[in-house]
Every structure is written in C-alpha cells, then in structure tokens.
C-alpha cells in the first residue's frame, strides 16, 4: 500500500457524515491549511497569528498589515462555510464557489479594484491575467467556462476523484475567474470536492510552492495533468503522515495488548 493509499484508507475509515465529525477530524488541519494556503500568496501571514485567530478569534499585540489580519479572519469564516456546506451536502457549484471567494476576500479588495467595479463574490469585470504565460479567460467568458468545468465534474468514478480534483484545480486557475484570491478559492473549492467524495483534503505546503506552480504551468502550456496529480498525491501524503503514524502506533499497541492477553 502506498502512502497515498494509506492516507485515503485512514480518511475513509473515519466514516465522516456530519459537520461536527468533519470539524473534529480537521481540528488541527484547518489551521494548517489556512496558514499554508494564505502564505503561498501573502508572506506576511504567520503560523502564530493564524492559530490565534482560529483558536481565540483575534490576535494580541498585532502590529502587522491590516489586510493580512482580515485575510486570516476570512479564512476562519471560510472554514465555517466549508463545514456548513458539507453538512448540507451542497454540490460544488457556481453559487458555492462565489460564496467561498466572497468570504475569503471580504474587506480586502484594494481601492483600485473597487474603483473599477470589482467586488468580492463576483466574477471579474476586467481582463486580468496571471503567470508568465498570461493565462486567464476573458471576463465575458468566465461564467460559461466555469459552468462547463463544473458540469464535467458530475458523476466522476470513485477511483478517479484525485484526477478530477487535479483537473478542476488546473482548469480553475487557468480560467482565473476573479479579480483576486483565485489561488485560495481554488484550493478551498478543490478540497471541498475531495471531502464531498470521501477523499482527504490536501494542504499545499507553502515551502513547496515552486513545484506547485510548475505543475500548474504544465497544464497551462501542454495540458499535461500528470505533474499536478502527482504533486497532489505527494501533498496528501505529507498532509496526513503524522495522523497515519499515530494510527499505526495505536493499532500496533492494541495488537500487542491482544497478543499478551492470549499468550
């Protein structure tokens, strides 16, 4: 069994059915996800501040940029949205993605974006591109391309969920649907798709961002999904390795106790 298969088996053994059960298994994961996902695009984010916001709903003696503090608070609220949507088994649709982006960017759009009509929770109104290949759909095409992408995710075979998640993330970032927070929204939406289909969510670790960007670029330039799928499998292993190790130690200890009782 590969480490990825161990992570999948560990997750599915939990048989998560409610938002409370999901919140319990994600108790430490949610902070790590918010920290790494935020720091990929904002180097001012720290682990200490992220933990303080999630655990205490605020930061003491904070002297940093206020936008960063808003982003951390928004990440916590986005996590609550994630849990509520799971409880309702809300499909991953345009309405949910727009809500995720709204929650992640509430109060963070700068004056320039606001003056040209951009708003949190709305698709972009102007032609923004990203990356060295300047990818991004035209504003008038975003709704149609997003609708087509989400339609393609329906009725995915269970054994192809990771492939579908990689495809969604690559296409979503290529469309570049929003004026801001495409990366954070895409990572959150991808994880919701995974959890909704019985797969463990993934932390894309900020120290691995170069490999992450290269994997996305492989899709942008060659429509090659293999690097991103491989990267996501490796990040899944990295995300859950400590939990799997603890579970294996508990199992081994239980087997030793059972053996001792029958000796």
Tokens of 27: 């108790």
Asked whether the beta carbons of 149 and 175 are under 8 A apart, the reply is yes
Clarify whether 176 is annotated catalytic. yes
Question: Which residues are 130's β-sheet partners?
Answer: 135
Which among 219, 131, 120, 112 is positioned nearest to 178, based on CA atoms?
A: 120
pLDDT of residue 170: 98
What are the C-alpha distances in Å from 123 to residues 39, 79, 100, 106, 129?
Answer: 23, 21, 12, 14, 13
Domain annotation for the chain: domains and CATH numbers: 3-262 (1.10.3290.10)
pLDDT at 253: 63
pTM, two decimals, is: 0.93
Of 86, 69, 104, the residue nearest 186 (C-alpha):
104
d(CA 139, CA 175): 10
Tell me the pLDDT of the chain (263 aa) as tens digits: 899 999 999 999 999 999 999 999 998 899 999 999 999 999 999 999 999 999 998 888 888 888 999 999 999 999 999 999 999 999 999 999 999 999 999 999 999 999 999 999 999 999 987 766 677 999 999 999 999 999 999 999 999 999 999 999 999 999 999 999 999 999 999 999 999 999 999 999 999 999 999 999 999 999 999 999 999 999 999 999 998 888 777 765 655 565 666 65
Pick from 86, 36, 74, 88: nearest CA to 189: 86
CB of 137 closer than 8 Å to CB of 175: yes
Residues 6+ apart with CB under 8 A from 52: 58, 59, 60
The answer to whether 217 and 133 have CB atoms below 8 angstroms apart is yes
Exactly one of 36, 169, 176, 205 is catalytic; name it: 176
Distance CA 168, CA 149 (A): 7
Tokens of 261: 């009782």
DSSP letter, residue 125? S
Rounded to the nearest 5 degrees, what angle is found at the Cα of 225, between the Cα atoms of 199 and 105?
65
As a 3-state breakdown, the chain gives helix, strand, coil percent values, each rounded to 5, of 70, 0, 30
Secondary structure class of 24 (helix, strand, coil): helix
Tokens of 17: 């059915």
Per the CB < 8 A criterion, the answer to whether 82 and 188 are in contact is yes
For residue 33 the two structure tokens come to: 């996800």
């Amino acid at each position: 069994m590969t480490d990825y298969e161990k992570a999948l088996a560990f997750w599915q053994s939990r048989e998560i059915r409610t938002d409370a059960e999901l919140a319990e298994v994600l108790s430490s994961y949610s902070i790590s996800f918010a920290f790494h996902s935020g720091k990929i695009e904002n180097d001012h984010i720290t682990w200490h501040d992220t933990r303080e916001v999630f655990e205490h709903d605020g930061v003491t003696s904070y002297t940093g940029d206020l936008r960063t503090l808003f982003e951390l608070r928004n990440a916590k609220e986005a996590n609550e949205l994630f849990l509520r949507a799971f409880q309702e088994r809300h499909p991953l649709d345009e309405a949910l993605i727009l809500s995720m982006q709204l929650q992640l960017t509430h109060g963070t759009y700068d004056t320039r974006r606001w003056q040209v009509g951009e708003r949190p929770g709305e698709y972009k109104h102007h032609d923004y591109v990203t990356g060295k290949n300047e990818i991004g759909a035209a504003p008038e095409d975003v709704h149609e391309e997003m609708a087509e992408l989400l339609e393609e995710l329906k009725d995915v075979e269970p054994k192809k969920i990771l492939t579908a998640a990689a495809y969604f993330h690559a296409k979503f970032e290529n469309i570049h649907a929003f004026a801001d927070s495409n990366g954070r929204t895409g990572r959150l939406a991808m994880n919701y798709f995974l959890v909704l289909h019985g797969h463990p969510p993934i932390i894309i670790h900020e120290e691995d961002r170069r490999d992450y960007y290269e994997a996305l670029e492989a899709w942008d330039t060659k429509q090659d999904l293999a690097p991103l799928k491989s990267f996501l499998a490796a990040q899944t292993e990295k995300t859950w390795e400590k939990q799997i190790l603890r579970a294996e130690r508990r199992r081994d200890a239980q087997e030793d106790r059972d053996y001792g009782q029958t000796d």
